[in-house]
Structure 1
Amino acid sequence: MIHKYFKIIVALLISSVSILNLNAQSRNDRLLDKVERQTFEYFWSGAEPNSGLARERINMDDIYPENDKNVVTTGGSGFGLMALVAGLDRGYISKKEGRDRFYKILHFLENADRFHGAWPHWMYGETGKVKPFGNNDNGGDLVETSFLLQGLLAVREYYKLENNSDTFIVNTINRLWEEVDFNWYRNNKNVLYWHWSPDKQWIMNFPIHGFNECLIMYVLGASSSKHAISLTDYNDGWAENGAIKKVTNYKKDTLFAHMQGNPPYGGPLFWTHYSFLGLNPRGLKDAFIDYGENNITMSKINYQWCVDNPKEYKGYSASNWGLTASYSVAGYAAHAPNLNDDLGVISPTAAISSIVYTPKESITAINYWNAKLKDKVWGKYGFYDAFSINDDWYPQKYLAIDQGPEVVMIENYRSGLLWKLFMAAPEVKDGLDKLGFTYKK
């Protein structure tokens, strides 16, 4: 009889735990949908009205530097295109609304300034003319263009689906994509350069070597049907003739990629986000690096650094973590886990966009900000760009390049949608094969 009652009690306890777990999961699902949906609005209702593209920034205090309120960002708009696909697929907007927005965007991109097929970093939303990013940066930006193409190809694959087909969208994206001359941006060397200007030429002199946010540029360069780069360009440029494989350690975590600039424990977390909004990092390996494992490790180190809190900042904890490039108490800064680049500033996009690598730690942080900091860090377009409990600093500002990865990576965590679409592009498969990648089919 005692044994019978014992079994009943155990069964009731197991049932109670299961119900609690289900309730917690349901709460987390609702919270993730809240964050995804509200952040999506940055690219929907917050878009620049003439172009339909993403504004570089939206400041809720209405103070804009250099009167750039209607400046659109090329890379951030690429992330925004993927966010629009996620919102469309989730029913946040109707099919007609989505199609109309993509028509507007494509008409704008067709007529905007391009340089050997590549768009500039910034454009004026009213005209499509280049807004110089700097004195010598007034031409094509191949990295930002690659982020835009990543989004365009995901849109194209979405509109190739039988129940959603649209020949204008598909054909226009094909033409824009084929016109980007990756080979030109080699500058006759075995490496890809970030910039080219019609009057300043190669004065920016920024060849891309080693791990950073730019892997997508090399993959798309190899994938181009008309202006492709070679395996030699990839190996000599990105992979640094094999030197990209370099072991560094933080406690029990080991990184295997040589990081551009040699940060000791991994750079800002956007390096693990931007290229991997479309490129599925799970099982993604070239001859040198397992990018999925490397990105997980980099995210875990970032988390553990904040937990360890070697600079003893107020507010850092297992619930409040995440270092990446964002607004900062000292202007704009690339926050990272090292003594020089940790300024006591938490950037929500760091943890949120890492949800595909550190789901437990990311969801814990999202719950903490939602429940404890509330309106200090939350506004019209989701979580604000950055804050510091240590400095009692809570600016009400947003950046497209930080909001976009949040929507896309939450969606990839929930459904894998953007990974499935981008990885379905036949040119991307060909490019990855050409570069010797193994990847999730």
Structure 2
Amino acid sequence: MDDRNPRALAALPDEALIDAVQRQTFRYFWDGADADSGLALDRRTLVSATGEDLPDDRVAIGGTGFGIMAMIVAVERGWVTRDAALERLGRMRDALFRARRYHGAFPHFMDAASGATIPMSPKDDAGDLVETSFLCMGLLCARQYFSEDTAAARRLRSDIDTLWHEVEWNWFTQGGRDVLYWHWSPNHGWAMNHEVRGWNECLITYLLAAAAPRHAIDPRVYHRGFAAGAGFLNGQSYYGIEIPLGMPYGGPLFFTHYSFCGLDPHGLKDRYADYWDLNCRHLQINRAHCIANPHGHPGYGESCWGLTASDDPDGYLAHAPDIDNGTISPTAALASLPYAPTEVMQVLRHFLTVHGTRLWKDYGFIDAFCERRGWFAETYLAIDQGPIVVMMENHRTGLLWKLFMSMPEVQAGLRALDFSSPHLESPAP
């Protein structure tokens, strides 16, 4: 089977097709990573004239976390050997130790060779707690997966513990306030002043902050910080679907992906929501909007939907039903496979048969497209490719969910925040 022939792929049975999409998309993190360190590049850009692609010079910390999770899938599926993955993870670990950290937190972007921070914006030039949480999620899954009693695996686990233990989550409460702050900089202090309040992609940040063995937050920071403010409780109906948490229309679909690459939403509940139900409702609203298509965007329908943050004809935007310029991002539907498998497979086959090689290339699907503008992205983004591989695997086997939810620290963090989950139930004697 030629994995680069989209029409041939579209004719495969579901499981074989999912496998092919995962495997091709994983290449972004294996063949397309920074050549020396193995860390995930923020993006790669196609060159129209030659068909080649150019790597970005920036390593993405959150994208690297998703890439590590994708690598676990690749080992489990036999696409790369365990030894090759351990060697790659060793290089990645060495580069992460070179990175400049800020009270243990990594920046959004870094230079792989020197470890220097690459500012995202003039004041966003240092610690990024949310990106750090995505990285830690991936590192902790690797710690669980590479459990063998060999020198390389033992060292990897020990070094992951060092990186994880040194993140000063409680520092990011800005001196004991009841909310986490996204950024801190030695040059600008707390000038960004970005409070992490929900509902959004940051549940994982609060969970890991509560789970941390050394620098944990008090549980009240979750309840008074993340779960407080205008963007958390909702309770409104959109397209006839009520949603308990989040912004109007639920927001971009990556809210249902990023934290839930590791956190298993099945039966995950706290005093605010049932998170499986929440994510399914969010997806249904996003899909219903594209089917209703109130703006008349070409291409939208039951076979073509999915609004989330991605590149678009004018730059980069967090697309959602109330921020809809006609841009469809393949990651939006594909990483939602656990929530609506039949509907997502319909979209996947549509992408391959209708758009073919305009969408499907060496590292899987390009980042986004907009039929109204006749625009197809010339980019792949780490934070969009990673969740495709990981969430498809969670649908198939629950692999990353089982790894992450089995960790003693994660279970302690969930209990501290008063979550319930089937993973927390004591096994029968």
Alignment partner, residue 93 of structure 1: 80
State the AA in 1 paired with 2:341.
P
Query: Once the 2 structures are TM-superposed, how far is the Cα of residue 49 of structure 1 from its aligned partner?
Result: 1.3
Q: 1:337 to 1:162 in 2, by over 3 A?
A: farther
Alignment partner, residue 431 of structure 1: 413
From 219, 223, 228, the equivalent of 1:231 is 219
Q: Bigger shift: 24-33 or 423-432?
A: 24-33
Q: 1:329 to 1:26 in 2, by over 3 A?
A: closer
Query: Once the 2 structures are TM-superposed, how far is the Cα of residue 69 of structure 1 from its aligned partner?
Result: 2.1
Alignment partner, residue 4 of structure 2: none
Report SS of the residue matched to 1:371: helix
Q: Deviations over 1:141-161 (max 9, x none)?
A: 000000000000000000125
Separation in 2, partners of 1:114, 1:68: 24
For the 8 Å contact 1:159–1:165, the answer to whether it is kept is no
For the 8 Å contact 2:197–2:229, the answer to whether it is kept is no
Query: Once the 2 structures are TM-superposed, how far is the Cα of residue 62 of structure 1 from its aligned partner?
Result: 7.7
Report SS of the residue matched to 1:333: strand
Q: Deviations over 1:397-432 (max 9, x none)?
A: 101010000000011111110001011111000000
1:327 paired with 2:311, answer yes
Q: 1:242 to 1:373 in 2, by over 3 A?
A: closer
Query: Once the 2 structures are TM-superposed, how far is the Cα of residue 376 of structure 1 from its aligned partner?
Result: 0.9
For the 8 Å contact 1:235–1:241, the answer to whether it is kept is no
Query: Once the 2 structures are TM-superposed, how far is the Cα of residue 329 of structure 1 from its aligned partner?
Result: 1.6
Separation in 2, partners of 1:44, 1:243: 37
TM-score, length-scaled by structure 2: 0.92
- Superposition RMSD in Å: 1.9
Query: Once the 2 structures are TM-superposed, how far is the Cα of residue 128 of structure 1 from its aligned partner?
Result: 1.2
Report SS of the residue matched to 2:105: coil
Q: Deviations over 1:129-184 (max 9, x none)?
A: 10001000111000000000000000000012579982011100011100000010
Separation in 2, partners of 1:377, 1:432: 39
1:133 paired with 2:117, answer no
Separation in 2, partners of 1:243, 1:343: 22
Written as runs of structure 1 = structure 2, the 5 A alignment for 1:145-156 is: 145-156=132-143
Alignment partner, residue 22 of structure 2: 36
TM-score, length-scaled by structure 1: 0.90
Alignment partner, residue 241 of structure 2: 253
Separation in 1, partners of 2:231, 2:194: 18
Written as runs of structure 1 = structure 2, the 5 A alignment for 1:112-261 is: 112-160=99-147, 166-188=153-175, 189-240=177-228, 244-257=232-245, 259=246
For the 8 Å contact 2:58–2:112, the answer to whether it is kept is yes
Report SS of the residue matched to 1:249: strand
For the 8 Å contact 2:108–2:120, the answer to whether it is kept is yes
Report SS of the residue matched to 2:102: coil
Alignment partner, residue 413 of structure 1: 395
In the alignment, structure 2 segments of 5+ residues that lack a partner are 1-9, 424-429
Report SS of the residue matched to 1:247: strand
Written as runs of structure 1 = structure 2, the 5 A alignment for 1:393-404 is: 393-404=375-386
State the AA in 2 paired with 1:175.
T
Q: Deviations over 1:281-311 (max 9, x none)?
A: 1111111111111111001111111111000
For the 8 Å contact 2:263–2:404, the answer to whether it is kept is yes
Structure number with greater Rg is 1
For the 8 Å contact 2:95–2:113, the answer to whether it is kept is no
For the 8 Å contact 2:311–2:317, the answer to whether it is kept is yes
Alignment partner, residue 5 of structure 2: none
For the 8 Å contact 2:86–2:152, the answer to whether it is kept is no
Query: Once the 2 structures are TM-superposed, how far is the Cα of residue 216 of structure 1 from its aligned partner?
Result: 0.3
State the AA in 2 paired with 1:350.
A
Report SS of the residue matched to 2:234: strand
Separation in 2, partners of 1:265, 1:387: 22
State the AA in 2 paired with 1:135.
P
Query: Once the 2 structures are TM-superposed, how far is the Cα of residue 246 of structure 1 from its aligned partner?
Result: 2.8
For the 8 Å contact 2:128–2:184, the answer to whether it is kept is yes
Written as runs of structure 1 = structure 2, the 5 A alignment for 1:350-429 is: 350-429=332-411
Separation in 2, partners of 1:234, 1:25: 47
Separation in 2, partners of 1:151, 1:416: 15
For the 8 Å contact 2:199–2:231, the answer to whether it is kept is no
Alignment partner, residue 331 of structure 2: 349
Report SS of the residue matched to 1:218: helix
In the alignment, structure 1 segments of 5+ residues that lack a partner are 1-23
Report SS of the residue matched to 1:183: helix
Separation in 1, partners of 2:55, 2:351: 30
State the AA in 2 paired with 1:269.
L
Alignment partner, residue 96 of structure 2: 109
Separation in 2, partners of 1:243, 1:266: 10
State the AA in 1 paired with 2:357.
D
